[in-house]
Structure 1
Amino acid sequence: MMTHRRSTATTDARSTRRSRRALWITLAVVVVLLLAAAAWLAFRALAARDALAATADEAALLQQSVLAGEHDDLDARARSISAHASDAARATGDPVWRAAEILPWVGANLRAVRDISEIADELARNGVPPLLDAADAVDLDSLGVTGNTVDLAPLDAARPALESAVGVFSAAAERAGAIDTGWTLPIITDAVDEVRQTLEPAASTVDGLARAASLLPSMLGADGPRDYLLLMQNNAEVRSSGGIPGAFAVLHAEDGAISLTGQASTADFRKFDEPIAELDAATVALFDEQPGQYVQHALQIPDFPKAAALAAEFWAQTMGSRVDGVLAVDTVTIADLLRATGPVSAGEYELTPDDAVDILLSRVYADEPSPIQLDAFFAGASSAVFEAVTDGRASPAALVEALAAAGDDGRIRMWSADPSEQERLAETTLAGALPIDGAEEVFAGVFFNDSTGGKMNYYTAADITGTLASCGDESRASVDVVWTNTLDPEQAESLPHYVTGNGSSKVDPGQVRTRIAVYGPQGWTASRSTLDGAAAPGQATIDQGRPVIQYEMTLSPGESTTVSVDFAGAADEAQLGLVSTPLIRDPNVRLTTTGCE
C-alpha cells in the first residue's frame, strides 16, 4: 500500500511538471506569435505609410500637370497613384491586420489607417480616371472661352465623366468624416484630419464642376436664347443679399455667346401702390410691403430666390419683357474680376483691383453730386467691366477662380426661372437661399438692411459671435452682433448729401440707421433678446421655420450697438454654422460649439 501511494504521488508530480511545461510552451508560442504579428503589423504599417506618402506626392504632381495643361504624362501618373494606393490597401487589408482591429486602443488606430488606405484606393481606381477624362475634354487653360463666347460642346462632353466622379468623391468624403479618432494617436488623428480637409473641398469642387457642365450649356443658350437680369449691388447701401441694386442690365445668351443688350437704373422704376406679387407673412412682418413696391427694396429679403423672383417681376412690369433668370453681383466682386482683367476706364477714373471699391462706393459720390450723372457713371462702369470680362483680355481660368471665390463668399447669386435648373442651383453657393439644417450643422443668420436712405455703409463694420451649447434636446445658441458706425465725427458735415441721405429718412448727417435681423436654427425658439444688454422689444416672426428677431437702430459717428439673441432647441451633435450679409469688409466672425458642460 505504501509503495502504491509513492507511485501515485510521483505520477501526479510528473503530470504537474508536464502541465507546467506545456503551459510555458503554449505561452512561449503565444508570445512568439504575438511578437510575429506585431512585427508583421509594424512592417505592414510602414509599407502602408510609404505607399500613402507616395500616393499623396503623385497626386500633387498630377494636379500640377492638369492645371499646367501638360497632359502627356497624366496617364502614367494616374497609374502610379493607383499602384501606390492599391499597395496601401493591401498592406492594411490582410487577416492579421483585420484581426488586430478588435484589440482595445490599438484597433482604433489600425481601423483608421485601413480606412484612409481604402479611401485612397477607391479614389485612385474610380475617382481620378473620370476626372482625367473630363480634363481631356475641356482645355483648362481657355475653358473653351473665346472673347464673349463659350464653346459648349466640351462641357457637354465632360458631363458624364464629372457626374461619375461626384459619387466617388462624395462617398469618400463621407467615409473620411465618419472615421472615429477618439482613441487614435496624434499622428493618426492628424492624418485623418488632413484627409478630411483635402476631401471636403475636393468633393465640393467636383460637384460644382459637374453641376456647371450640366447647367451651363442650357443656361448659355444651347437650347435657345436666354435673357438674364443683371443686378449690380452697391454695398454702400446694404441689403440682405449684399447691397441695393444700383444698376440693371440684361445679358443675352445664345449658343454660348454672351452680350449686353439693355441697361437701366432705379430711377427707371416707379413705386407700385400694391405689391407686384404676393409677399409671405415673414417678409411683411420684417419689411412691411416695401419689397413688393420698390425694386431697390426687393433684395431686403434674405432668401435670394424670393428676392430675385420679385426683381424679375419688377423688370417685366416696368420694361415689358420677361427674363429667364437673375444674376446679382456686388461691388467687391468687381475688384476681384479686375485682378484677372487688369484696370478698366470708367468716366474719368481708372478702376484697379486696389481702388475700385473705394472709387465706386465712396470717392465718386464726393466728385459727382448729381444722381442722374451718378446713374450714368455706374451704367458706364458696368459696361466697361463687362467688356473687360468678355473681350478675351483675361485668362478664363483666372476669371473662373475670381468668380468661384466670389460665389463662395456669397457675393455672386443666381436664380433661374426654370424650376429644374433652379433645383440644381439650389444646392450650390450661388443660390443664396436660406440653408437647411442637418444632423451635422445647424445655422444661424445675421442680415443687415440700411434704412438711412444714403450710402453710409462704407463707414460701418460688424463683429458676429455665435455660440452653441449642443446638449441634445436642450441645446442653446446665442448670437451677438456688434454694429459700429466708424465715421469720424469731424467728417460728418463734409459728406455729400447723396451719401448721408440729406435727412430724407429723418437721420442727421453722419448717422446710420440699420435693421439687423438675427435668425435662429430651424424649429427652434427665440428665448431672449437684448439691445446693448437691456431687454428691448424687437420685430419677431418665423421665416421658413426659423425664429427671427429684428431691431432697427440709429448710430451717430463713432457709436456701436450690440444685438444679442438666444435660441433654444435640439442640436444633438451638430456644429453651429452662420449665413450673413456680404459687407464691404467681411465681418469678424467667431463661432464656437461646446458640449453640455
Structure 2
Amino acid sequence: MSAERRDAKGIDEQGSGRQRRRRRIWTVVILVVIAFLVAVCWVGLRAITVKDGLVQSQDLIEEIQGGGAVDEVLPELSESAASAGAAASDPVWWVMEWIPVVGDNLKGVRLAAQSLDALVNDVALPVMGDENSTGSITERLLDATDDQAQHVTELADGLESVSKSPFLVSVVREGVDQVEEVMSTAAPMIGVLPKLLGGDGERKYLLVFQNNAETLALGGSAAAQTLVKVDEGAIEIGAQGDSGNYQNGVAVDVDVPPSAIELYTSYLVDHINTSMSRPDFPTAAKIMRAWWQRDIADDEIAGVISIDPLALSRILKATGPIELASGEVLSEENAVSLLLSEVYGRWDSYEEPELVDGFFADTAAAVFDKIATGDFDPKDMLWAISESASQGSVLVWSDDEQVADAIEGAKISGVLPADNSNVTTMGIYFNNSNGSKIDYFTETATTATAVCEADAATFTATASLTLPLTQRQAEALPRYVQSMTFGARFRDWIFIYGPPGTTLSDATFNGDEVSVMHRDVDDLGRPVVAFEAWFDPGDSVDVAATFVGGDGDYGPLEVRTNPMVRGAKPVVTDGCGG
C-alpha cells in the first residue's frame, strides 16, 4: 500500500474515532439531561406530597390552637407530618440539594418537614401514648426525648443554618422561619429533658409556692416549699417546709451584691418570706436552696421551681378539679380566692401558721402529683404553662450549665435582659413591706413610654396602686390580712428599673406620704429608683421615673412587673424600637 493511501486511511480512522467519541459524549450528555429531568420531575412530584403534608399539618395545628381536641386531631396530624417527612427524605431529593441556589430551598423544605415529623411522631405521639402505653407521662417523656434529643438538635442546627441563606424564595423562607422558631425553643428543651427527668440518676428539685397576697417582685412571699424527687422519669414528693421551720433572722450564706442589700435590706437573706424581693430568680433560688439545706436537710438540689396560685388556677383548667387531702376541692374557679383570701378566715395564722403554710404545701404537692400522672388536657396544659411563664407565675432555675443555656433569655428564667439588643426592658415592681396579705385586694397599673430623638432616648415608667376598700371593710379583714404592725394602714415599696445603659433623670410622685428611698443605686446592670408609699383604704398612689440614654439601638420596649391578682396589663408606647 502506498504511503498516500496509508495516510488517507489513518485520517479516516481518526475522523471516525472523533465521531464515535462525540457520539458517546452526546449520549452521556443526553442521558445526564434525561436523568436530570427525571430527577426534577421526581422531586417535583415529591415536593407536591411534601407541600400537601405541610399544609395539612399546619391546618391541623391551627385546629388544635383553635380549641380542637388533641387526642382526636393528633392521629391525623401524625399521618400528614409523616407523609411530608418521608417524601422529603428521598435520596434523589438529597442529591438535588447540591445544586446551587435551588438546593438551599430544597434543603430548607426537607428540614422543615423532617422537623415537624420528628416533633409529632417521635416525641409528641409516644408521650401522649395510647391504650397500650405503659409508664407515667413523665417516664414516656424521658424515653422519647432520650431517643430523639440528638436527632432534633441536628435538625434545629440545620434549620438555623439554612435560614441564613440569601437564596430562599419567600414562600420557603416563611415556612422555614416558622418551623425554625419552634425548633430553636424545642430542641434545647428536648436536649436537657433526659437529664432533668433523672435519666442519668435521681435529681432533686425544690418546689416553692409564692403567695401573691403578700406581693414581692418575683410574685410574693415564699410561703411553702416541697422537695420533689425525679428518677428515671418517676416523680415522688419528698419533705415539705414552711416559714415555721426556718431560723428567721439568721442570714443564709449566699453571696449577693451590695446593691441588692441596699435596696431590699438584709431581709433578702435573713427572712425566708422575703427571699423573692429582688427581680432576679437566680438570686432568689440560691437563697431558697440555702435556707433548705441549712435548716431542713442537706439535700443536693439540682434546681428550684416557683409557682403561684395564679398559675395553679390556669393549670386546673387542664387537670380539672383536684380533691385535696383535707377534702377540699380545688378548681380553676376557686383556687385564687381560696388560697389568697378565704384561707385566712379559717385559721389565725399568728396562732397556727403551720396550718396555713401546710395547706399551701399540700395544695402545691397535690397539683404537681396530678401533673405527673399525665391526667390532663395537653393543649390546655401547654397554654397554662406558657401563659404563666410569660406572666412570671412560673419560674425555673438550675445551676446545671446545659439547663441554664436552654432557658437563657426566656421569661421563665426570671432574669432581666442584660442589654437592649433584642428588647428594651423596664422593670416595675410592687413590694409589700408591711407583712400584710392585702394584695389580694390591691389594684395596680403600669405604663412605659420611649421617645427617641437624634442623639438621645428617653424612657418613662409610671406605676399606680389603689386599695378599693372602705375603712370599715379593711378593719373587718382577718388580722393576718391586715398589716402586721400598722393594722388597716399599709405600706409598699415600689421599684422602677430603667433600661441598661441609661441614667435616672427624674423621679416624681403624688401624695403626702410618698417619698423616694433610693435614686443612686445600680442593680442588675440597671439604674433603679425606689419609692416608699403609705396608703389607707380608698387611697391611690402614683409614682413615675424617667431615664435617658444615648442614640444606640433599642429593641422593642417591654415592661416586666409582678404577677398581681388584680394587675392591669402594662400599657406601652414605643417611639424607639417598636
**Same fold by TM-score, threshold 0.5 exceeded?**
yes
Which residue is equivalent to 1:583? 564
- Which of 466, 473, 477 in structure 2 is aligned with 1:495? 477
Query: Aligned equivalents of 1:215 and 1:441: distance in 2?
Result: 26
Write out per-residue CA displacement over residues 459-503 of structure 1, whole angstroms, 9 at most, x where no aligned residue: 1121111101123641111001111112243311110011113xx
Partner of 2:548: 568
The answer to whether residue 136 in structure 2 is matched with residue 147 in structure 1 is yes
Contact persistence 1:239–1:450 (CA under 8 A):
yes
User: Following TM superposition, by how much is the alpha carbon of 1:320 offset from its aligned partner in structure 2, in angstroms?
Assistant: 3.1
**CA distance, structure 2, for counterparts of residue 446 and residue 212 of structure 1:** 29
Instruction: Output the CA distance in 1 between the equivalents of 2:490 and 2:50.
Output: 56
Gaps of 5+ in 2: 1-47, 65-69, 94-99
Cα distance 1:140–1:451, how it changes in 2: closer, same or farther (>3 A)? farther
Equivalences for 1:35-74 in 2 at 5 Å? 57-61=55-59, 63=61, 68-70=74-76, 71-74=78-81
Unaligned runs of 5+ in 1: 1-49, 87-92, 95-116, 180-190
Query: Alpha-carbon deviation of 1:281?
Result: 1.5
Aligned counterpart for 2:362 among listed residues 380, 387, 410: 380
Residue 75 of structure 1, CA deviation: 3.8
Match of 1:549 among 503, 524, 529: 529
Residue 228 of structure 1 corresponds to 205
| 1:419 shift after superposition | 3.4
Does 2:312 correspond to 1:334? yes
Residue number in structure 2 paired with 1:312: 289
Mapped partners of 1:140, 1:320: distance in 2: 39
TM-score normalised by the chain length of structure 1: 0.75
Corresponding residue to 1:164 among 137, 154, 158 = 154
**CA, structure 1 residues 380+354, in 2 after alignment: closer, same or farther (shift >3 Å)?**
same
Deviations 1:380-430 (A, max 9, x none): 322322332223432455434422332222211111132343233323332
CA gap of 1:219–1:573, structure 2 versus 1, over 3 A, is closer
Instruction: Give the Å deviation of 1:250.
Output: 0.1
Distance change in 2, residues 1:480/1:122 (3 Å): farther
The residue type paired with residue 278 of structure 1 is D
Structure 2 equivalent of residue 559 of structure 1: 539
Q: Give the structure 1 partner of residue 27 of structure 2.
A: none
Q: CA deviation at 1:557?
A: 1.3
Checking the alignment, whether the CA contact within 8 Å between 1:142 and 1:397 is kept in structure 2 is no
Q: Is the CA contact (8 Å cut-off) linking 1:142 and 1:395 kept in structure 2? A: no
1:588 alignment partner, SS class: coil
Matched, 1:389 2:396: no
Counterpart-to-counterpart distance in 2, 1:140 and 1:550:
50
Q: Does 1:480 align with 2:462?
A: yes
Residue type matched to 1:137 in 2? D
Q: Report if the CA contact (8 A) 1:279-1:289 is conserved.
A: no
Equivalent AA in structure 2 for residue 350 of structure 1: V
State the partner residue of 1:109. none
Per the alignment, residue 76 of structure 1 pairs with 83
Superposition map of 1:433-448 within 5 A = 433-448=415-430
Deviation at 1:528, TM superposition (A): 0.4
Letter in 2 for 1:305: P
SS at the partner of 1:467?
strand
Q: 2:444 aligns with which of 462, 468, 478?
A: 462
1:371 aligns with 2:350: no
Partner residue of 1:352 out of 297, 308, 331 = 331
Question: Is the Cα–Cα contact under 8 Å of residues 440 and 574 in structure 1 kept in the other structure?
Answer: yes
Aligned CA distance change for structure 1 residues 531 and 146 (closer, same or farther; 3 Å): farther
How many residues align structurally?
A: 502
Contact 1:300 1:449 in 2 (8 A): yes
Alignment of 1:116-155 (within 5 A): 123-140=108-125, 142-143=127-128, 146-147=135-136, 149-151=138-140, 152-155=142-145
The whole-number CA distance in structure 2 between the counterparts of 1:375 and 1:528 is 41
2:506 matched to 1:524? no
| CA drift at 1:273 | 3.6
Residue equivalent to 1:271: 248
Structure 1 position 359, deviation (Å): 0.7
The worse-fitting range, judged by mean Cα deviation, of 347-356 and 253-262 is 347-356
Whether the 8 Å contact between 1:58 and 1:77 is mirrored in structure 2 is no
8 Å CA contact retained: 1:231, 1:248: yes
Instruction: Please state whether the residue corresponding to 1:68 is helix, strand or coil.
Output: helix
Sort the Cα spacing of 1:128 and 1:508 in 2 relative to 1 into closer, same or farther, 3 A: same
User: How far apart are residue 309 of structure 1 and its match?
Assistant: 0.5
Summarize deviations over 1:159-192 as a string: whole Å, max 9, x none.
Answer: 233323434665788899xx9xxxxxxxxxxx99
Q: 1:295 to 1:533 in 2, by over 3 A?
A: closer
Residue 182 of structure 2 is aligned with which of 199, 205, 218? Answer: 205
Note the alpha carbon deviations across 1:235-268, whole angstroms, 9 max, x for none: 1111111111111100001111111011111111
Query: 1:364, CA displacement in angstroms?
Result: 1.5
Matched with 1:104 is none
Contact 1:275/1:293 (<8 A) preserved: yes
Q: Which residue in 1 is equivalent to 2:216?
A: 239
- C-alpha displacement of 1:118: 11
Which TM-score applies when normalising by structure 2?
0.77
Residue type of the alignment partner of 1:578: V
Amino acid at match of 2:313: A
Q: Is the 8 A contact 1:412 1:430 kept in 2?
A: yes
Distance (Å, rounded) in 2 between the aligned partners of 1:448 and 1:563: 11
1-side partners of 2:332 and 2:151: how far apart?
Answer: 36
Partners in 1 of 2:178 and 2:434 — Cα distance? 40
Q: Kindly indicate whether the alpha-carbon contact (under 8 Å) linking 1:143 and 1:397 is maintained by their aligned counterparts in 2.
A: no
1:141/1:396 contact within 8 Å kept: no
Matched AA of 1:295: I
Q: Give the AA of the match of 2:83.
A: A
Question: Taking structure 1 as reference, are residues 573 and 515 closer, same or farther at Cα in structure 2, changes over 3 Å only?
Answer: closer
Tell me which residue corresponds to 2:39: none
Q: Distance in 2 between matches of 1:558 and 1:62?
A: 50
Q: 2:190 aligns to what SS in structure 1? A: helix
- C-alpha change, 1:455 and 1:161, in structure 2 (3 Å) is same
In the TM superposition, what whole-angstrom CA distance separates every residue of 1:298-350 from its partner, at most 9, and x where no partner exists?
Answer: 11111100110111011111123132211111111111111121111232532
C-alpha displacement of 1:449: 1.3
Letter in 1 for 2:317: R
Cα distance in 2 for residues equivalent to 1:80 and 1:423: 34
- Distance in 2, Cα, partners of 1:174 & 1:559: 55
* RMSD between superposed Cα atoms in Å: 3.7
How far apart, in 2, do the equivalents of 1:340 and 1:119 lie? 41
